[in-house]
Structure 1
Amino acid sequence: MKILLTGCAGFIGMHVAKILLLRGDEVLGIDNLNDYYDPELKQARLGQLKGYSRFKFMKGDISDRSFVEDVFSAEKPDRVINLAAQAGVRYSIENPHAYIQSNIVGFINILEGCRNNAIQHLVYASSSSVYGGNIKMPFSVNDRVDNPVSLYAATKKSNELMAHTYSHLYKLPTTGLRYFTVYGPWGRPDMSPWLFTSAITEGRSIKIFNQGKMQRDFTYIDDIAEGTVRALDREILQPYKVYNIGNQQPVELMEFIGVIERELGQEAQKEFLPMQPGDVVATFADVGELKREVGYEPKTNLDVGLANWVKWYKDYALSRAEQE
């Protein structure tokens, strides 16, 4: 197949692209390489893909309507995976317009490209943040998600509603994936594993919100990427689907930090702070539907996943230091 993959230089995007390329698909990758975080990391991820003959990269922004129309018209992909988005719950409080431009305007451009070019299937990134302040655990795709607590979450819920409309009106098969706290090699610098690891190794204190009384369904990147490709391949019995994709094993934040400390052989200096606006206390994914319908089965436990993460971080930080 020929797959259009937006956000290909992103954390999840790079890993998904590798799976598709290794199995023989042709991947057309799009990314705007913005500076929300270090563009050099995005370029390094792209470097992992450019050795594949079936990979083609185009720099561009999905919020640019004419660019998206031209890509669909010229490249004629069979299926689309839309992972391009303005990420981050906290940044959405500081810069709301970036989220509307990328996550709403960009997504309607992708939907229109799919509708007008007979795309077989669109898979897109939603988020566990759509559950807002839900206290019923685990989070089920059958739960109501009408009370987002951040603009980021609101845009992801909007994506699900927009996709539902296109599936209903135009019979476009769409699959939304509510990702739960992804971590692992090549992760983002604004996420907790990187923030904690860099601070500990550099002798800075780490900020622990809600006094550490938080839980997250941390999910290793290889499991996330494999599940994303399984969702792309799903048998289209229903044109519209939304799945949770997580580890189904919530972990106490202090336990998570403890594993990083053990892997680094250093204890963190801890600064305990109140809850942040837009954040939630706990996440816990019910992934039953994804297991039943596409055979998803997360395999990586926290000890293995964080050991892989810390090793990668040390290698990457060392290589950057040598370059400088």
Structure 2
Amino acid sequence: MRTVLITGSAGFIGYHLADTLLGEGFRVAGYDGLTDYYDVALKEKRHEMLGEHAQFSARIGMLEDADALRDFALEVRPDAIVHLAAQAGVRYSLENPRAYVEANLVGTFNLMECARELGVDHLLMASTSSVYGANTAMPFTEHQTADTPLTLYAASKKANEAMAHSYAHLWNLPTTMFRFFTVYGPWGRPDMALFKFTRGILEGTPIDIYNHGKMRRDFTYVGDLVRVIRLLIDAVPQRPANPADIPEWDSLSPAAPFRVVNIGNGEPVALGDFVAAIEEACGREAVRNLMEMQPGDVPATWADTTLLRELTGYAPETGIREGVERFVAWYRDYYEV
């Protein structure tokens, strides 16, 4: 039985990934700080549900606590590590930048040290589509230069990619970085648009629509995303014997067993269509509060999923209406609305 250590196991994506892996017979060890960036009760409920599985164990601790993280990693001896824990949120990085340095830089360094010491078979770490920053050529491909981050959150994730490449090169540590594109679905974060819009529409309060609605996002359903991560666990990058043999579609590094992979739906959706899908699922119309673009935001995202399909034979495909319906059904049930 293989063991996977998931950081951020009480988080939105971490919970869904842990549940998927447990369902496939993995042993899952979760590490989470249960920080109060959003409702801790939501995180505790996710861990509670995972705890119903005999093969799930968890430790509450911060990434910044190197000793606690190392002790847990040495105790569970994972075959693979999926690092999802981070200080999330593009807009919050404008308010509390220090949290991103401590969790995303220092915390990720501590995690990489554990992976190096244990010599895990595969280290997989979350990055973000935000690293594409000011790029405008779409769809975004993994080969594009990503040197124009627009927020500290994006910069911290790009730094994680660079840090991970150096460890992969120095210690021959197989590493995959995935760039997530606007993940949504049941048990989602309260700070994300779908959650806020659903709550506002059901309560009859105005929802803030930035850039006057002139936005497009590549929305990725969480069930699809964790299926991809599960498949990527087995797609272990190998240091190339001859860099000239790397296929054009592959982002494999010529100097390390290291790869960056987009995980997106491959289809940008207009913000107006997104809101319309929520209205349809809620059975009510939204009260729109049109606003200017927020600092650090971008007008559009769109993932090229060619590499993902080549590596796994699969790519996210859930349509926005179906995914939104599932979220609204969960929201109504969880909050008894």
Unaligned runs of 5+ in 1: none
Q: Secondary structure at the match of 1:48?
A: helix
Counterparts of 1:92 and 1:268, CA distance in 2: 28
Residue matched to 1:220: 221
Residue matched to 1:307: 325
- Residue by residue over 1:6-56, the C-alpha shift from the partner in whole angstroms, topping out at 9 and shown as x without a partner, is 000000000100111111110000101010000000011112211100000
- Residue by residue over 1:92-126, the C-alpha shift from the partner in whole angstroms, topping out at 9 and shown as x without a partner, is 00000100110000000011111111111100100
Alpha-carbon distance, 1:169 to partner: 0.6
Residue matched to 1:296: 314
Residue matched to 1:193: 194
Q: Percent identity?
A: 48
Alpha-carbon distance, 1:262 to partner: 1.0
Which range moves more in the overlay, 19-28 or 295-304? 295-304
Residue matched to 2:173: 172
Counterparts of 1:299 and 1:252, CA distance in 2: 17
Counterparts of 1:97 and 1:276, CA distance in 2: 20
Counterparts of 1:29 and 1:235, CA distance in 2: 21
Q: What does residue range 1-324 of structure 1 map to in structure 2 within 5 Å?
A: 1-238=2-239, 239-318=257-336
User: May I ask how many residue pairs the two structures share in their alignment?
Assistant: 319
Counterparts of 2:298 and 2:18, CA distance in 1: 31
Q: Secondary structure at the match of 2:298?
A: coil
| Matched residue type, 1:242 | V
Contact 2:133/2:146, CA 8 A, preserved across alignment: yes
Alpha-carbon distance, 1:235 to partner: 3.7
Counterparts of 2:218 and 2:319, CA distance in 1: 11
Q: Secondary structure at the match of 2:169?
A: helix
Residue matched to 2:243: none
Q: Secondary structure at the match of 2:266?
A: coil
Alpha-carbon distance, 1:303 to partner: 1.2
Alpha-carbon distance, 1:270 to partner: 0.5
| Matched residue type, 1:39 | V
Contact 2:8/2:85, CA 8 A, preserved across alignment: yes
Counterparts of 1:235 and 1:201, CA distance in 2: 44
Counterparts of 2:38 and 2:328, CA distance in 1: 19
- Residue by residue over 1:122-161, the C-alpha shift from the partner in whole angstroms, topping out at 9 and shown as x without a partner, is 0010000000021101000000000000000000000000
Counterparts of 2:210 and 2:74, CA distance in 1: 47
Alpha-carbon distance, 1:299 to partner: 2.7
Unaligned runs of 5+ in 2: 240-256
Counterparts of 1:267 and 1:14, CA distance in 2: 31
Q: Secondary structure at the match of 1:104?
A: helix
| Matched residue type, 2:210 | F
| Matched residue type, 2:118 | N
> How large is the Cα RMSD of the aligned pairs?
0.9
Alpha-carbon distance, 1:296 to partner: 2.4
| Matched residue type, 2:296 | G
Counterparts of 2:205 and 2:331, CA distance in 1: 17
Alpha-carbon distance, 1:76 to partner: 1.3
Counterparts of 1:270 and 1:12, CA distance in 2: 29
| Matched residue type, 2:4 | I
